[in-house]
A = this chain, B = another copy of it.
Amino acid sequence: MPPILTSRRLVYANSKWRAYADDLRGDGTSVKGYLVVEPVHAGPGMVTGVAVLGEADGRFALLHNHRHPLGQRSWEMVKGFIDEGENPADAARRELTEETGLVCGPEDLVPLGSFTPEGATMAARGLLFLARRCRPDIAATPGAAPGKDGADEIEIGLGATTLFDLGTVERMADNSEIEDAATLIGIYRALAWLKRECRETTPNTSS
């Protein structure tokens, strides 16, 4: 039997998140003030954001973002919230261009499934994508995300883009040089997808 929510209190809200203190009653136990962090805007299935790994000429785009809660920089795929009414695939391509200046055609966007960053605290689910065969868009200004009122707004902590080859990305993921959960899952699923794709499209010459 899942626990029953007996009371909910909003303890904080900003433009992105709401925090609740929930009282729960389960089989033979109860919890008071369980913290739940919930995005203000979420689509069906609690889908909140997208994370997209851009690939250009066999190299992979990572940003070195400063994350205030961690007090340090973190190697990450492009990530962003989905705008209200926006298709997740469109959000992934939009965020990719806004944050890196790379453009990916809709036919080159590979869905890599979903994940929940921290189901014990966050009511949020992300969708992952691999963006293949990206090209730089000379008109785009990386790091400048248009604000709600149309004015440009520099995102706090957003770092510059670096392109890494496959072996380097794999090594950085395996030795915890990359620690960001969304980025690690995206990389591991992208590597598995690329290996499958490569096997299926390469003629077998071993026998």
| Interface set of A (CB-CB < 8 Å, partner B) | 2-3, 5, 11-12, 14, 16-17, 19, 21-22, 24, 26-38, 46, 65-71, 73-74, 76, 79, 113-123, 125, 153-154, 156-157, 174-176, 179-182, 184-185, 188-189, 192
- 6 interchain pairs, CB-CB under 8 A: A11-B19, A14-B32, A19-B19, A79-B120, A115-B179, A117-B181
Find out whether the CB atom of B27 lies under 8 angstroms from the CB atom of A19: no
Find out whether the CB atom of A116 lies under 8 angstroms from the CB atom of B70: yes
- Cα distance A38–B115 in the bound complex, in angstroms: 21
In the complex, what residues of B have CB within 8 A of residue A154's CB? 26-29
The closest CB in chain B to the CB of A123 belongs to B69
In the complex, what residues of B have CB within 8 A of residue A36's CB? 68-69
- Cα distance A181–B189 in the bound complex, in angstroms: 12
Q: Which of B2, B76, B181 contacts A115 (CB 8 A)?
A: B181
Most chain B C-beta atoms within 10 Å of own C-beta, residue among A19, A71, A121, A188: A121
- Cα distance A2–B71 in the bound complex, in angstroms: 8
In the complex, what residues of B have CB within 8 A of residue A24's CB? 68, 156
Q: Lowest 5 CB-CB distances: which A-B pairs, in order? A: A113-B176, A67-B119, A181-B181, A188-B188, A11-B12
Find out whether the CB atom of A182 lies under 8 angstroms from the CB atom of B179: no
> Closest CB-CB distance, A68 to chain B, in whole Å?
6
In the complex, what residues of B have CB within 8 A of residue A157's CB? 2-3, 26
> Closest CB-CB distance, A199 to chain B, in whole Å?
15
In the complex, what residues of B have CB within 8 A of residue A189's CB? 174
Find out whether the CB atom of B35 lies under 8 angstroms from the CB atom of A121: no
In the complex, what residues of B have CB within 8 A of residue A70's CB? 46, 116, 119, 123, 125
